[in-house]
Amino acid sequence: MKKSSRLLTIALGICLAVVLTACGGGNSGGNGGGGDDVNPQSAPEKTTFTVGICQLVQHDALDAATQGFRDAITEELGDSVIFDEQNGSGDSATCATICNGFVSNNVDLIMANATPALQAAVASTDQIPILGTSVTEYGAALGIDNFSGVCGNNVSGTSDLPPLDEQAKMIKDLFPEAKTVGIIYGNSEVNSIYQKDVMTEELTKLGLTVTSYGFTDSNDVSLVAQTACEENDVLFIPTDNKAADNADAIDAIARQTKTPIIAGEEGICAKCGVATLTIDYYQLGQATGKMAVKILLGEADVSTMAIEYDPNPVKKYNKELAELYGVTIPDDYIALD
């Protein structure tokens, strides 16, 4: 449905509300019983909506997803949607407080940007529709065994998972002499653990020795990165919010040891990676926004909506770090801006 059609639907809802109000007023007086003789009317279509946005932390990828989400909704529904956008500052407990506030305020939909935000939203309500974005694997995030792609409850959304087998092949292609790969990840993020496990399997198939290095926060990331760099030929960092938050610290260590990094997404790659197979987070947010419009207008049931993925991941590279580490980049890679 085009923007003009959406707005027409909303306008008609407003007109219906006015007509119903006028009719009720005309029958409330008169002889013999006033309003008791009025037949009950169905409620008018909802014409304004409130959407709560809980974003885990501020960084480029999540910011882009939130912006895409807002833009897609605004394009279709204009100013009939009020956004309550809040940031969890990287803290799961803060996300829980934010989402509980959304429930208390009876918002029409919650958008949860990143896995901890999604988990907080799910814990807060099983009634209000929830859409996740920048979530890697919903089965792992929500503890759903044998996940089929549909959550089957009040949750759906979009995934930022690029093909991990292709990311593993990227490491093998760019670093044909490498024998050892270290994976650095935030050990409290279930989606990072999922990526770590799958990448370990894929890289092992390619004959590489893989070691994982989990860190908790900025207090131990430098020590963990130092060990990983010293013990491996190449590092891999998945789509990990804690790693993205600490990418500059990891980069400082990697430059000292001359250890190249392959990143799970372009925001991390821009700070510390040589190359990445990445999705477009703005477009991912837009896809989530389009799902939200369908839910808000009653055109789709969140419980039957399949998780959506970016069908066109792109190979990108960091020109400065590729030159620093002497990596030859194939022609089918795009330089980061």
What Rg value do the Cα atoms of the chain yield, rounded?
24
Taken in order 147, 151, 152, 157, the sign of the CA dihedral is: negative
In 3D space, the residue among 240, 283, 239, 287 whose CA is nearest the CA of residue 131 turns out to be 287
Average confidence (pLDDT) per 10 residues, the chain, 337 residues: 46 41 38 37 66 94 96 97 96 97 98 96 98 95 93 97 94 97 94 95 98 95 97 96 93 97 95 96 96 97 96 94 96 94
What is the 3 state secondary structure string of the chain?
CCHHHHHHHHHHHHHHHHHHHHHHHHHCCCCCCHHHHCCCCCCCCCCCEEEEEEECCCCHHHHHHHHHHHHHHHHHHHHHEEEEEEECCCCHHHHHHHHHHHHHCCCCEEEEECHHHHHHHHHHCCCCCEEEEEECCHHHHHCCCCCCCCCCCCEEEEECCCCHHHHHHHHHHHCCCCCEEEEEEECCCHHHHHHHHHHHHHHHHCCCEEEEEEECCCCCHHHHHHHHHHHCCEEEECCCHHHHHCHHHHHHHHHHHCCCEEECCHHHHHHHCCEEEECCHHHHHHHHHHHHHHHHCCCCCHHHCCCEECCCCEEEECHHHHHHCCCCCCCCCEECC
Structure tokens at 276: 């990445």
Superfamily of chain region 49-160+280-306: Response regulator (3.40.50.2300)
| Nearest CA-CA partner of 278 in 164, 118, 111, 158 | 164
* Per-residue pLDDT at 18: 38
The pLDDT score that the predictor gives to residue 250 is 97
The answer to whether 69 and 287 are in contact (CB under 8 A) is no
C-alpha torsion angle, residues 218, 222, 224, 229 (rounded to 10): 140
Distance of alpha carbon 214 from alpha carbon 237, whole angstroms: 11
Rounded Cα gap, residues 242 and 314, in angstroms: 23
C-alpha to C-alpha distance for 47 and 21, rounded to whole angstroms: 15
Q: How far is CA 307 from the centre of its chain?
A: 11
Domains 49-160+280-306 and 164-278+314-335 share a fold: yes
Cα 64 to Cα 308: distance, rounded to the nearest angstrom: 17
Task: Give me the pLDDT at residue 59, please.
Answer: 85
Q: Where are the domains of the chain?
A: 49-160+280-306, 164-278+314-335
Cα distances (angstroms) measured from residue 104 to each of 84, 95, 98, 128: 13, 14, 10, 11
Nearest to 205 by CA among 237, 239, 177, 169: 169
Report how far residue 56's alpha carbon sits from residue 115's, in angstroms, rounded to the nearest whole number.
Answer: 8
Report the alpha-carbon distance of residue 272 to residue 325 in Å, rounded: 12
Structure-block tokens of residue 87: 């940031």
pTM of the model: 0.77
Class of the CATH-defined domain 164-278+314-335: alpha beta
Cβ atoms of 279 and 313 closer than 8 Å: yes
